[in-house]
Chains A and B, each alone.
Chain A
Amino acid sequence: MDLSYSSEEAAFRDEVRAWLAANLPADIRDKVTHYRHLTKDDHVRWHKILAAKGWSVPHWPVEWGGTGWNITRRYIYDEEFGLVGAPSLAPFGPSMCASVLLRFGTPEQKQRFLPRIRDGEDFWVQGYSEPGAGSDLAALKTRAERRGDHYIINGQKIWTTLGHYGDWIFCLVRTDAAAEKRQEGISFLLMDMKTPGITVRPLILMDGGHEVNEVFFDDVKVPVENLVFEENKGWTVAKYLLGHERMGSGAVGSSKRELAALKALAAREQKNGKPLIEDLRFRDRLSRVEIELDALELTSMRFLDKMRRSGQPPGADVSMLKIRGTEIQQALTELMMQAVGPLAQPFVAVEGGAVDPLASRLAPRYFNYRKTSIYAGSNEIQRNIIAKMTLGL
């Protein structure tokens, strides 16, 4: 047994760390560490900096601009992002759409879309969920009717993260309403969001932030060459994507940064004339989260070690990283909010007033992070996956 990175891996970690220190724009880092939403310009600017370094799509095949890093290096890369407060690139283009194109796309589709995704030219978003199709995704109803060399799309998507930044959207649509099994009538379609008939409406979350949207499709005309894989075989594509690498879902790096921030905050806050961190009740809760995070980091490394040995993707039990990772993220945001006590109440300045720029973000941040156990396959769905695939229940 050896729990540490090899000297070669440690050198790589130092390289990433040094590069991030020199190249991550301070204003973007400050937004991340002060819990402010990033603009589209922030996302694109950071993407282009990474692309110039050749690091925007490390997990892609080298011929398309990947780095050829093994799974351990990719994990280290992600962790260093989290530790320093570098935003991860939105996964919809570089991770999700690209994975589908690399696996199922035609040579023309790859050539048309992949370089622009790699270089941050197109901002992609995901059109999966619908008002009546959440965890039960196969219940989706958005219709795509074939008319000659086009599909005509009508329907609605919801929870479209950063949909208001989207240049392109990939959607699951129903192409055969009469299919015997619901899963058999679904197709995977790419749409230019400038196409007439697409309307994006913001859904403001309880933190006051605009992250997610509803997207409406009203007689939207999409050329058939934007179909990925076969018509009515979109479920195969969707399943491939769901089973795609989920090693990063534990968010160990960013949680370690949050834990350090929490400790610093609790050392400044006072309770009964002493630093809050010396309060036993608070300290015990903090320690339990810290220990769970220690365990999660090691569990992640055990997965990495297993994958490195077997050369296989992780099994369904990797879902535990998402479950525990999001529970830890939520616990940390809650403790941060509680650490400032009554000062968590002020939200925005009015009539020439002022609010503390950090403390006023802590409650909204806690509110916002309730999403983590709901999105990307709710934690209940993750438990279903482990129950079925790992435990055979």
Chain B
Amino acid sequence: MNFEYSDEQRQLADSVRKYLANEYDFDKRKTIVHSPSGCSDAVWSTLAEMGVTAITLPEADGGFGGGAVDLMAVMEACGEALLVEPLLDHIGLAARLVARAGSAAQRAALLPGVIDGSLKLTFAGLEPGYRYELAPQSTQARRQGAGWVLDGRKSVVIGAPWANKMIVSARTGDHSAASLFVVDARAHGIRMSPCRTVDGQRAADIKFTGVSVDADALLGPEGGALPFIDEAVDFATALLCAEAIGAMQYANDATLEYLKTRKQFGVPIASFQVLQHRMVEMFIHTEQARSMAILAASKVDTAGDAAERRRAVSAAKVKIADAARQVSQESVQLHGGMGMTEELKISHTFRRLTMIGQRFGDADHHLERYAALG
């Protein structure tokens, strides 16, 4: 039994945290969010230099061969800082799919760029009208000559406007025949409708109209990509849980500090028991959620079968969604009117935690998945 981070895990997270504290404070983040691309190339390349993009990739491909646990502490730091660069979509989803499903040639073509930060990837998975469904339905790929042609739509693809390439899921047969394709984000026939999300990220709805790709764009087995997608989304969900812990930790720290400094009726509001007990509940929720985030990351790395992994990840996501809701709502309430304003980071943390609660499946979605596993 050992619940401590290793020295390497801690050191990396400490450097990331220190870097973000200096270069990603609340004002600098705001500047980035409102910049044309909504993301910072400088931050991205620094994170890559620190090794963040390499940790979870196989050693054979130039990575460090680590797992979700090795990136957990870093994700916590990103959560505290409310990082808007799409690290999760890049590393957790797209690069994971390439590393797991890709041929030697595809890995050699893509992963070095992922690791050095020069190639930005994202995963286009969700579709309008299909909620959290992972099997592509409305996006279809059909053979044309030696290659493929893609048609269809994808919804809220985080990181898409900034990405160089996308991993796109498309149906290549019956409703469970999922395939993956590596598609250039600027390919002919792609129309992006970009947006800024409520928590400050950049995303796009994407329409594919007769997008032609070569035969070697097919990533993994034709029609057999669903287990890879399921695994990558579980992996990313575990990382998202860790990110949520960081954001909740910030919310708790900031709220605790506020309770101790804000005075009403001539005394710090921290002296009111009704507020103390609410603060204690935020603390307990966060610690219980942290336990489940650890479980999810650990099982993603070590589970003997997909059912064990899915069960742990869904249990964790239910707990994280519930805790994120409680902690974010209470942190705003305990900050009073100031908690409602743009000016305080707490309101931005509220937005991020709220969207984390719904990403990759909300509590209801994961309760259903959890129950189905017995």
Contact = CB atoms under 8 A, between A and B. Distances in A.
Nearest to A387: B276
Interface string B272-304: 010011011101100111011011011000000
Contact of A3 (B259, B279, B294): B294
A254 to B, nearest CB: 19
A323 B288 CA distance: 12
B42 interface: no
Contacts of A108: none
Interface string B239-272: 0000000000000000010011000000000110
Contacts of B4: 1, 305, 309
A175 B252 CA distance: 44
B225 interface: no
Output the residue of B1, B256, B322 with the most chain A CB within 10 A: B1
B367 interface: yes
Contacts of B279: 387, 391, 393
A2 B2 contact: yes
Majority DSSP secondary structure for residues of A touching B: helix
Interface string A307-323: 01100000001001001
A284 interface: yes
A317 B279 CA distance: 13
B5 interface: yes
A393 B260 contact: yes
B288 A292 contact: yes
Output the residue of A306, A384, A386 with the most chain B CB within 10 A: A386
A90 to B, nearest CB: 28
Nearest to A306: B3
Interface stretch (A20-28, A165-173, A184-192, A295-303): A295-303
A304 interface: yes
A72 interface: yes
B69 interface: yes
Interface size class of B (residues with CB under 8 A): 35 or more
Interface string A210-239: 000000000000000000000000000000
A288 interface: yes
A324 B260 CA distance: 26
A14 interface: no
B371 A287 contact: yes
Contacts of B277: 380, 383-384, 387
B20 interface: no
B367 A284 contact: yes
A226 B207 CA distance: 85
A106 interface: no
B185 interface: no
Interface in A1-30: 1-6, 9
A309 B5 CA distance: 13
Given A299-B287, A393-B259, A291 B1 contact: no
Given A283-B371, A391-B283, A6 B1 contact: yes
Interface of A: 1-6, 9, 72, 280, 283-284, 287-288, 290-292, 294-296, 298-299, 301-302, 304-306, 308-309, 317, 320, 323-324, 380, 383-384, 386-387, 390-393
7 contacts: A1-B6, A1-B294, A288-B367, A299-B291, A301-B3, A320-B284, A386-B280
Interface of B: 1-6, 69, 256, 259-260, 270-271, 273, 276-277, 279-281, 283-284, 287-289, 291-292, 294-295, 297-298, 315, 318-319, 322, 364, 367-368, 370-371
